[in-house]
Structure 1
Amino acid sequence: MASLSSNKLEEWEIAKYWEIFSGLDPLNGLLSGDRAAAVLKNSQLADDQLERIWDLADVDSDGNLDFEEFCVAMRIIFDLINGRYKSVPSSLPDWLVPSSKVHLLAANRAVKTGSSGFERVDDDDDLDDQPGLTNDFDWYMSPQDRRNYEAVYNANTDRHGQISFESLSELYGTLNVPETDIASAWNLINPRSDRTIGKDQCLAFLHILNNRDKGVRVPRNVPPSLRATFEKSTEIDYDVSNTSSPSQRLASTSTTSKKSAFADSYLDRLGISGGRSPYSSSGTDFSATKDTDWEEVRLRRQLTELESQYEKAQAAAERRKNEAKRNADNSKIGLVRTQLEQLYDYKRRQLRKLRAGESLDDGSSGVDLTSMKQEIEVLKQQVDMLEDYCNRKQTELNQLYSEIEREKSS
């Protein structure tokens, strides 16, 4: 492999990683830990190092590696082996972050650091208008909360992966959150005032509502990294006739004073809480074709399989051809040998009759025994020569078999 000293992924390098990635039979363009383990452990790095590399490469934290993330993991491994790094980097180098996941990495870093990276401006004059509320909002999402948020998102998202304000109207009715706070939370994570929001914005929105339902004030600001992510949103408004604000749209929904675990009754109606089977959307899943690059991945994989099948068919046809040729050669040699053996036996019978004074098969009896014996000797020599020829051919045939077996094993 060529040098990996530059701060970029070279084309030949990506092609090499693709060859390895596709050979691991990714499922829907993703490699699980089990499938990737064999290649990663071949590096002979310690298990704890490989775990840290996996955590760095798995930018979207879905427990799998897509091709871009696999390239990240492989590059870090090769840099460690080549001595560029003395230990696994504590964070992913900016140049190695896939451009399609820059926003995810920024959001993940903000979530993992909790509230320490927030820009919070508290206005003491406004704190008394909502007595009993605390100000210790934390953007960190526990695994259980995140699963609940994702369940709500999956239950209400449209086929474009977007969430509208109205699509969550039933959820609002299960929370003890004022309409003004719900609208404030929506505007906070939707600085562009888009008609719909994406998954990351939706999870943040639900997290704010969950904390507000528990008595924590809606935050005044979001982390800079999250704000940059939310401001990049360029979702298409598929309903051009709807120009109402979140507050106006919320006014048409009903709210109750029931205060409980976040969306408990709402999730219960969807069959998600209480240990029931998870919600399954009845719509079409477009996630596998969301990115046209993965269509190319699938086509390349199919092409590789077709080429493999073609090579196997060619090899099988060649084996059948060689086998047929060997069978034909063996048939000819066997026929000649049989004919010579029959002639030899005939001449021996003739000799025995002459010695016994009997008539030959053609009725003659005055045959010269000396010439007959010489003729038989000639025939015997011919038979011996034929046997020697057959032995040599058999040796050549065995050598040919051995060569074929070696080719198969290589």
Structure 2
Amino acid sequence: MQNPDAYDWYISPADRFNYETQFTRNNSDDVEITLQQMENIYNTSRISLEDFQYIWNLVNIRGNQAINKEQFVVFLHVLNSKRRGKPFPTGLTLSMKESFLKEDSKPSDRMYVRPSTSTRDVASFENKDIAGLEASIQELDREMTQSRALRDETEKRIAELKIVKAELADLAEFKRKHLAAIKADNEALLESEKVAVGGRDLDETSLLLLIDRLKEQRRVLEIKKSTAQAMLTDSQLELTRAG
């Protein structure tokens, strides 16, 4: 067991989002959750029933049939800390007890963990010495640097994708025009076949040669048409992915 003032009550924004999502998933009214509704959580918790009941009693200081979202968030924080090998706290901090005991407490009144995803739990630092606070400041500086780097990288990637999307759009337009030109050539060839055969008195040999030549020209145009159509389809797929 660990003194509540020495226990690490800090809940990261990512963990808080995960815990609140589980709260919504496991109950129907999004206001309170009962111990029975947490059966699935127990089945996957890999802790004993005795430990699970201890955490429930820890946060359920009124002894009610259900706990609210903030109590549930602390419940999962203690549970996951236990799974990572950390000892249980002997109780809650005074600020947490006061918050849980308030019938109509507002999020801004809860000092033990802030609902904002952009701030840390300042109360979790209140018992640290100067060296501990300086270490926490350095950790925050590292997180800020990483966040800025991630933001810059994301903005750079978005700019690159916009350029690629514009280039693919231009390529797709070129291929549409190219395909239209091939279709026009094909139609002109068909028309020339009619004119060449219909307006001339050819012997059998000449007629067969003309037909073979026109067939070859038509075959070449069909190949170009198929190739252009395939290229256009590929460009459209690339444009869709880039978008």
Normalized against structure 1, the TM-score is what?
Answer: 0.32
Normalized against structure 2, the TM-score is what?
Answer: 0.49
